Structure 1
């Protein structure tokens, strides 16, 4: 089985695509191509629905990747919401099946805004990252430092970078190029995936540059009103910074 084509890697603004349902596994549904981002790199997975030609829909509660091994490569799994077992059993006899894959746009937009905001935070706090979580309701970064951090100063710094409207874009480099530039990796807990021969770099122009496979807005102005809601001392060498939306966009 060939890998699912991950359309979100090149265009995070895609909300829908035509695809084929090619496999139904106990852990989730496999498509030949998708706009659904799977949980990874600290970012939560997408939800949404798969629209069938006859008007019925499969509700997708989450998106994940299987662990995989040498014999079974990782699969991108669209996890169906509970209570759809009869429909899935019916569809299993009709594979492959054409459908439309449509993500929850509001949930994705929140992920994009928060994920880009965490890169702005990385530019403001010059310490390694030792943990990350990005959801539709909040985001957090754990920094490896004993230094105290100022909540108001960081919120003001994020607001300044948002107002400056820096372009956000990605590009690909080789594994060898990343090895030659180890300073690009800010995270102590999540390392860039290797083995495919290339690594995705996320650049906030003039602000931040580091490996990242997540979904992002196209300009910092789209982050909107994101503020630091809490700073916690998690250990002697860990400061947790939590981000939230001050107001909806």
Structure 2
């Protein structure tokens, strides 16, 4: 299963990929992918995000790797779809992308054991969780202005099923700015694996279908400027394109 959410002809609908940049809609309509408005592929109730879940990223920030997951919440206002635009605030010195594997919950999850975690996962998508470093007060508890800005987290283009992705702990992540490769890492290098995270989070809160877990980013954070095209790419999931304005 590989599907998106798009706006087409005045309605919001799911879409499946076809060849040559075309999309198949549920009623059989075939449209060019550049003629739709891409929406975040899921509408979560809760978005749980991780800080410093890759040791190399913690290292580039001169921080020690955490001993337990560093969690924070994000609002739905932060999400924007494929080909969307994200604002760089005026007067800031450092705003950077964060290519992240996003886990999409498939059924109510409460007190899940790590060995059963994948039974609760619908699939995966790509998140680009921009951060404005100027507003950062504490890496262990990000200021709301760092991680909860409107349209500051592109998501998509697709949800790809767990069965189609296979092992989510064996995926390559890459980011390109204006066509140049600037970030590369591997989900195998996460400090806290997806099964561990699902057990940890659901030990104290229930996750609902459609909820998201953003699993952190590897090293390679580079400042972005208005006019930049930023492409975040995850193996077996796709390429998420975003523009800075």
Shorter-chain TM-score tier: under 0.3
TM-score normalised according to structure 1 size: 0.26
